[in-house]
Amino acid sequence: MRMSSPILKIENLQAKVADEDLQILKGVDLELNAGEIHAIMGPNGSGKSTLAKILAGHPGYEVTGGSVTFEGEDILEAEPDERSQAGIFLAFQYPVEIPGVSIANFLRTALQAHSGDEELDLFEFSDLLMEKMEMLEMDPSFAERPVNDGFSGGEKKRNEILQMACLRPKLALMDETDSGLDIDALQIVAKGVNKLREDNPEMTILLITHYQRLLNYIKPDHVHVMVQGRIVQSGGPEVALKLEDDGYAEFIPAAAGEEG
C-alpha cells in the first residue's frame, strides 16, 4: 500500500491572481505517483502554466482553496526555496535573465543552497557541470555566459534542463519546455530529459504543453486535459493523439475565451 501513496497530491485547488479578482484555478484534482510522467494539455489561458507556477510557489498567485501535498506534506505555506530544497523543480516557460552572473556561478550557488551547511566540493561540482553540459550537447564555454542574457529561445530551454540535471529534483514541472524550440533543439532537450530519467527512474515529471509534439519524444503515462481552470479529461497517451486530430473545441463551451 505504501507504494501507491502519491508523491504529489492536488485536491480541489483554487487560485487567483494575487492582486486582482481573477480566478484562474477552479478546483483542480491531480495525483502523481513517484516515477510517473504526466502531461497536462490545454488551450491558452486554461490555467495549466499557472498550476505549475503555483506548485513552485510563485508569489503572483493566491491559493483560495484546496490543498497540495508533496510526499505527504502540505507545501502551500512553503517558500519557493524550501520547495526547491524539498525536491520540486520548475523548468520555466520564460526563463529570467540574470545579467553578470555566469551559469557556473549561478548553479554553484544553487547547489550550495541545496547542500546546506556542507561545503560544496568545487571539483565535484565542476565535473558534474561538464558532464551534464556534454549530455545536453552544450559547449563548455556556455558555463561562463551570464544566465539567459542574450540567449536564443533554444539556449534558454536547454539551460533549464541543465539546471534540472544538476539539481536532480524528485518532481520536475516542465512548463511549455517545447515552446520556441525547433525540431533539432526539441530532440536534444527530450533526449536529455529521457537520459535524466534513465539515471533516476524515481523522478516524477509533470509536462505542461500545448502540443502533442513533445509527447512523441517524452512518453507520458497519463494525459490530462485542462480547460478553464479544471481538469476535464484524464486518460492515457491516446488522449493526446485525439487532441492532435480534433483540437480542444469539444471541451470549450460557447462562452469560452473570457479568461484570455
Per CB under 8 A, does 177 bind another protein?
no
Among 112, 179, 194, 200, binds another protein (CB under 8 A): 112
Closest by CA position to 37, among listed 160, 219, 178, 177: 219
Closest by CA position to 202, among listed 155, 168, 236, 243: 168
Among 99, 150, 201, 253, binds another protein (CB under 8 A): 99
Burial class (CB in 10 A: 0-12, 13-18, 19+), 239: buried
Among 20, 62, 74, 79, binds another protein (CB under 8 A): 79
Per CB under 8 A, does 150 bind another protein?
no
Per CB under 8 A, does 126 bind another protein?
no
Which of 132/222 has CB closer to another protein? 132
Which of 117/238 has CB closer to another protein? 117
Per CB under 8 A, does 63 bind another protein?
no
Per CB under 8 A, does 57 bind another protein?
yes
Which parts of 14-33 interact with another protein (CB under 8 A)?
none
Least gap, CB of 147 to another protein (angstroms): 8
Number of residues engaging another protein in binding (CB under 8 A): 33
Per CB under 8 A, does 140 bind another protein?
no
Residue labelled with grid coordinates 460557447: 254
Per CB under 8 A, does 153 bind another protein?
no
Which of 173/225 has CB closer to another protein? 173
Query: 105-110: long-range contacts at Cβ-Cβ below 8 A with a sequence spacing of 24 or more?
Result: 106/147, 107/162, 107/163, 107/166, 110/163, 110/166, 110/167
Which parts of 190-229 interact with another protein (CB under 8 A)?
none
Report how far residue 209's alpha carbon sits from residue 225's, in angstroms, rounded to the nearest whole number.
Answer: 10
Widest pairwise Cα distance in the chain: 59
Q: Which stretch binds another protein (CB under 8 A): 21-29, 62-70, 75-83, 191-199?
A: 75-83
Residues that bind another protein (CB under 8 A): 56-60, 79-81, 83-85, 89-90, 92, 95-96, 98-101, 105-106, 109-114, 117, 119, 146, 163, 167
